[in-house]
């Protein structure tokens, strides 16, 4: 369907207007101006913030600069989560631009993974792709690819090349027609009010009696509190790429069209704003 391809493009080109401000406690040689950037939802902070780093380094002495990290309203931002997930989870109902604070000292190593280079981001990204394929195809598709094919997936993401990425990614979205879908759906459900970072379990896209499972079915099984019962007031929003898909949407379709480039469906459950 032509419409479905449009969805892939809309997902890929989603952007979040962001304002980066230097932490006021950083030692600077002169005042640091804020830096504005449109962040791709589907990418990762270390990949797209070189310009941010260069901008703030201009007003700092090298001895005051350690590993860069980002924080939103006191919460260190996990760079290994896609940017759109971080936004939906922490700031989805706030006024734009998204205000992120930049730090160059006191790296919170009890909260954040280190990211000394882009090859670490690449390793995480490829690790997610491999895990997703383990769920979808028992790793058969990803293991049949060559090293250059894996590189193409990463380079497509890093350089924002939709066609280059999807030329390879479409293979990861195929399945035997008789199966009706993937073996299991790669997903993660994030909640704001829990110590547990996410819920990830085995879930099939098709029931034993061949009915397509929906987003609602998934939530009912994994996180029933997210659903609103009849007569109740809605307490939670279920966000994927910043939108609330209908709960009746087939999970297989969501997995094929609304997954992130890492091939996971990242689902954020956030409290409904009370304004």
Partner 1 sequence: MWFSVCVSLILSDMSCSVLDEQQFRQGCQLLLQRSDQLGDGWSWEAVQGSEEGYLRKTARRSVPSDWGPLHDQEGFSFHPQTLCDSTGHEKEEQDPAASTGSDFLSAEEQDDGSYTVTDSSSRVVQYEYHILFSCSYGAPVLYFRAFTLEGKSLALEEMWSTIHPNYRLRLQNCPLSAISQQEHPLLGQPFFFLHPCRTEEFMGLVLQAVQDQGRPVNYVLSWLSVVGPVVGLDVPLQYCTPLHSAVSLNSTKPD
Given the rule CB under 8 A, which of 22-30, 39-47, 141-149, 230-238 is the region that contacts partner 1?
141-149
Could you say which of 28, 59, 131, 227 contacts partner 1 (CB under 8 A)? Answer: 131
221 binds partner 1 (CB under 8 A): no
Work out the number of other CB atoms within 10 angstroms of the CB of residue 246.
Answer: 8
Could you say which of 11, 42, 142, 267 contacts partner 1 (CB under 8 A)? Answer: 142
Binding string, 235-264, against partner 1, x = CB under 8 A? ------------------------------
Rounded least distance, CB 58 to partner 1, Å: 26
Question: Could you tell me which residues come within 8 angstroms of residue 114 by beta carbon, excluding any fewer than 6 positions away?
Answer: 67, 107, 120
End-to-end CA distance of the chain: 39
61 binds partner 1 (CB under 8 A): no
Bridge partners for 22 per DSSP: 102
147 binds partner 1 (CB under 8 A): yes
Backbone CA torsion sign across 142, 147, 148, 150: positive
CB contact burial 202-227 (16+ within 10 A = b; e otherwise): ebbbbeeeeebbbbbbbbeeebeebb
111 binds partner 1 (CB under 8 A): yes
Given the rule CB under 8 A, which of 147-155, 161-169, 217-225, 236-244 is the region that contacts partner 1?
147-155
Q: Can you tell me the distance from the alpha carbon of 171 to that of 174, in angstroms, rounded to the nearest whole number? A: 6
Q: Which is nearer to partner 1, 34 or 155 (CB)?
A: 155
Q: What number of CA atoms fall less than 13 Å from residue 273's CA on the CB side?
A: 9
Backbone CA torsion sign across 145, 146, 151, 156: negative
57 binds partner 1 (CB under 8 A): no
38 binds partner 1 (CB under 8 A): no
Contacting positions for partner 1 (CB under 8 A): 78, 80, 109-114, 116-117, 119-120, 122-123, 126-127, 130-131, 134-135, 139, 142-147, 150-151, 154, 186, 195-198, 200-202
């Amino acid at each position: 369907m032509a419409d479905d391809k449009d969805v892939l493009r809309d997902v890929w080109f989603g952007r979040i207007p962001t304002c980066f401000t230097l932490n006021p406690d950083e030692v600077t040689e002169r005042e640091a101006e804020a830096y504005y950037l449109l962040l791709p939802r589907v990418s990762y902070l270390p990949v797209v913030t070189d310009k941010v780093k260069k901008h703030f380094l201009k007003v700092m002495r090298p001895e005051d600069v350690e590993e860069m990290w980002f924080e939103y309203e006191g919460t260190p931002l996990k760079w290994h989560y896609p940017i759109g997930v971080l936004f939906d989870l922490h700031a989805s109902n706030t006024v734009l631009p998204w205000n992120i604070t930049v730090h160059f000292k006191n790296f919170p190593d009890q909260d954040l993974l280190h990211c000394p280079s882009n090859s670490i981001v690449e390793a995480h990204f490829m690790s997610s792709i491999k895990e997703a394929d383990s769920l979808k195809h028992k790793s058969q598709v990803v293991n049949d690819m060559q090293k250059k094919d894996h590189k193409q997936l990463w380079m497509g993401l890093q350089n924002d090349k939709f066609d280059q990425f999807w030329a390879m990614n479409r293979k990861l979205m195929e399945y035997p027609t008789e199966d009706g879908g993937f073996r299991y759906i790669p997903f993660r459900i994030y909640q704001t009010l829990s110590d547990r970072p996410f819920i990830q379990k085995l879930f099939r896209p098709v029931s034993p009696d061949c009915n397509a499972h929906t987003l609602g079915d998934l939530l009912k099984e994994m996180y029933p509190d997210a659903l609103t019962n009849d007569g109740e007031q809605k307490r939670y929003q279920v966000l994927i790429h910043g939108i609330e898909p209908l709960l009746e949407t087939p999970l297989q379709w969501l997995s094929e069209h609304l997954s992130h480039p890492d091939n996971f469906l990242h689902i954020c459950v956030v409290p409904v704003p009370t304004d």
